[in-house]
Structure 1
């Protein structure tokens, strides 16, 4: 299964993605890690553009073809990026679930942006103004929406696991 997490910076994607990967044994694939590796290679500077996403799609598809589940986490701001993740999963013959992670409490979201530190060495983090200015197209298809405002990771993970199980049953997905 490919589980695609998207959402603005500091909504909780990485925290939830890591917890989900740990609890399911899935591979956690983070576009920010890929992008920073490209920068460290000397081939690009931030922002790297679509390169990090393109590498992410290829890695996800490769892991899925090996029979591994993947939690792919990125801002995923454009419909074209969301489509590309879904297409990578389908090419690999995997079930795909899309999750938009949001923080509905604007003050809490702003505090998160201001207080977080980079856990990928050298990865630049946006400030609040950059998060607010970021292009982020609305989603136009069904997805799971996970609101992390005022909630701990265990509550968010439990809600997400329940939603994924419900979606799997409704869609007739195979258990992977």
Structure 2
């Protein structure tokens, strides 16, 4: 990848986006900002859980803005379930005339998706693990993307193959 790019990884909890974001960050040496650790830090800092959802996105936008201002590419790992955060990423990329690359992770096999959620332990201090019931609620709220993007079904490929496919898409 030669030009600065804002890379947005999107998808439901348990869809594999954080695994993919971390792998791509390592493979391409691009900084990564993830909503969940940002939000957990806000909770540890004393903010109430009902105050941090939008604020965590605002922090990620500010961090990504700084990297783009410096001429660097950046990866953002967030559910991005509705148009508002998606529009913010488009606006930020346009501000710096940076490329915008979206990767949407899905886990089409519901049995695998549920098993991932029920077994996962991310060890983000202060952040409880999400329940399958909450994932189903999030899925009902999740709006389809209309932007050009790479969609990866993380239930059918190995992490290494997914990371390689994403890295190729970004190059």
Is it true that 1:98 corresponds to 2:102 in the alignment?
Answer: yes
Is it true that 1:68 corresponds to 2:57 in the alignment?
Answer: no
Q: Which residue of structure 2 lines up, in the alignment, with residue 51 of structure 1?
A: 55
Which ranges in structure 1 are unaligned for 5 or more consecutive residues? 166-176
C-alpha RMSD of matched pairs (Å): 1.3
Structure 1 residue 149 displacement after superposition: 0.6
Is the contact made by 1:39 and 1:46 (CA closer than 8 Å) also made in structure 2?
no
Which ranges in structure 2 are unaligned for 5 or more consecutive residues? none
Q: In structure 1, which of residues 128, 150, 157 is the aligned counterpart of residue 156 of structure 2? A: 150
Is the contact made by 1:101 and 1:147 (CA closer than 8 Å) also made in structure 2?
yes
Provide the C-alpha distance between the structure 2 equivalents of 1:44 and 1:85, rounded to a whole number of angstroms.
25
Is the contact made by 1:104 and 1:147 (CA closer than 8 Å) also made in structure 2?
yes
Q: Which residue of structure 1 lines up, in the alignment, with residue 85 of structure 2?
A: 81
Structure 1 residue 4 displacement after superposition: 0.2
Paired residues, what number?
165
- Partner-residue secondary structure (3-state), 2:98: coil
TM-score by length of 2: 0.91
